[in-house]
Amino acid sequence: MRFSSSIASALLGLSSVVSASVVHKPVAVAERALEYVIKPKMVIISMFAPEAEIWYGIPEFNLLARNITLPGASPLFPDVHCTENGDVCQVITGESEINAAVTIASLVRSPRFDLTTSYFMIAGIAGINPEVATICSVTFARYAVQVALQHEFDPRDIPANYSTGYIPLGATSPSEYPQNIYGTEVFEVNQDLQKIAANFARKATLNDSDAAVAYRALYAHDEIYAAGASSSGPSVVECDVATSDVYYSGKLLGEAFGNFTTLITNGTGNYCSTAQEDNATLEALLRAASEKLVDYSRVIVMRTASDFDRPFLGGSATYNLFESSVQGAFLPAVANLYLAGIKVVEGILDGWNSTFAQGVNATNYVGDIFGTLGGEPDFGLGPVVAGDILSKRDVLMKRNIRNVPARLPRA
């Protein structure tokens, strides 16, 4: 989710995109108790109200036909919404990593749902790296990287040879691979499914705005931002997502987190979009997959670009964030969640019997840095080194229990 108070007024115009009937649910429907387990084919994961409401009042299906209160959900969004036949459901996690993790962990263990064959589509707005794509675009990720899970120094305190105040955990320089691994640093999802979803989305006619067209032109003065300045408007791009509770803005932070994405994925990841929830959502789904509650190879990460993650040449990082509404991309990005996302949902539902019921075989590694679900990660330090690091941490912990001082990362 990317949102600031400067665009709050833009929400008043959302009714031109979202049906007015979505605001109020009939009490009788909202409180209806379901007496059987719902087995959805698709679960849409939204993070906050605008992302959720764009799916209401649409012609394809009625997500508010069934509303199931979910214990453990965000108090702001206590219900899971489903179509009458249960084929499509939506959960709204609440914003930030903690909300996402708790909500998804609650969903996957709810006795009201059988999610063993469900596809999950994270569908939220995000910031965008102008080196890779432009505002209003739709991105589909292979990797999600928890970019702020690092040591941090105030930039005024760092040595002259450091490019950033962010240092990987257990390392002593920005370019050194982290030596303390928590397990949520990076996730890889099914690349074959990613490409299928992106191709479905390419059938959509994406929303744009005159303000966004004008704002893109400001990035034309620096050739490195050619993608951001694109005169052809928004497109569907396959590139990777950063997760950070910190809502950041600026060239230096964008470059630092882009470099960390490249580092943590062993040179494969391509940082483009910024989010606050995705690694948390993916960790909750991965733990559920380890218990056979979900199929992790059925996860799609879609983010639409509501603002640039850094300013144009000569612009300021503060203006880029605090005045992001002038970019004119918030409402189109929200609209494109539906316009692109519905093509993915329909593609999976229409091809259920022929393709998707049995699943899409992943030809790439799928999972976390530990190899929790099996297979060998194509990122990280390798199983031998990673195992050695974990063994050393275990030894240090045991020593610490015996009151022997040990240098361990803060928990």
Residue 393 lies in a domain: no
Q: Which of 134-143, 178-187, 196-205, 375-384 has the lowest mean pLDDT?
A: 375-384
Tell me what the mean pLDDT of segment 151-164 comes to: 95
- pLDDT reading at 182 higher than 60: yes
Q: Give residue 36's pLDDT.
A: 80
- Averaged pLDDT score across all residues of the chain: 90
Tell me what the mean pLDDT of segment 245-254 comes to: 97
d(CA 45, CA 408): 35
Which tops the pLDDT comparison, 15 or 162?
Answer: 162
Structure tokens, 367: 């999972």
**Do strands 271-275 and 240-243 pair parallel, antiparallel, or not at all (unpaired)?**
parallel
Tell me what the mean pLDDT of segment 57-65 comes to: 98
Residue 299 lies in a domain: yes
d(CA 238, CA 230): 16
Contacts of 377-385 spanning 24+ positions with Cβ under 8 A: 377/188, 378/188, 378/266, 378/268, 379/143, 379/186, 379/188, 379/264, 379/265, 379/266, 379/268, 379/269, 380/181, 380/186, 380/266, 381/177
d(CA 255, CA 288): 33
Tell me what the mean pLDDT of segment 326-341 comes to: 99
Instruction: Give tens-digit pLDDT for 66-114.
Output: 999 999 999 999 999 999 999 999 999 999 999 999 999 999 999 999 9
Residue 118 lies in a domain: yes
Residue 404 lies in a domain: no
Q: Give residue 20's pLDDT.
A: 34
Q: Give residue 397's pLDDT.
A: 45
pLDDT above 90 coverage of the chain, percent: 83
- Contact criterion met (CB below 8 Å) for 74 and 35: no
CATH number at residue 142: 3.40.50.1580
Tell me what the mean pLDDT of segment 3-17 comes to: 47
- Contact criterion met (CB below 8 Å) for 244 and 274: yes
Beta-bridged to residue 140, according to DSSP, are 238, 302
**CA trace torsion 9, 64, 92, 74 (10° rounding):** 100
- The residues, ordered by sequence, that sit 6+ positions from 304 with a Cβ below 8 Å of its Cβ are 124, 125, 126, 136, 137, 138, 139, 333, 334, 336, 337, 340
d(CA 395, CA 411): 17
Consecutive H or E run containing 275: strand 271-275
Q: Give residue 112's pLDDT.
A: 97
Block residue for tokens 């999600």: 144
- pLDDT reading at 23 higher than 50: no
pLDDT tier, 4 (very low <50, low <70, confident <90, very high otherwise): low
Residue 127 lies in a domain: yes
pLDDT tier, 16 (very low <50, low <70, confident <90, very high otherwise): very low
Residue 107 lies in a domain: yes
Range of the domain at 262: 5-149+184-369
Tell me what the mean pLDDT of segment 166-173 comes to: 97
Beta-bridged to residue 302, according to DSSP, are 123, 140
For 249, which DSSP code?
-
Instruction: Give tens-digit pLDDT for 257-304.
Output: 999 999 999 999 999 999 999 999 999 999 999 999 999 999 999 999
Q: What is the pTM (predicted TM-score) of this model?
A: 0.87
Our count of domains for the chain comes to 1
Residue 241 lies in a domain: yes
pLDDT tier, 34 (very low <50, low <70, confident <90, very high otherwise): very low
d(CA 319, CA 218): 14
Tell me what the mean pLDDT of segment 360-378 comes to: 97
Residue 173 lies in a domain: no
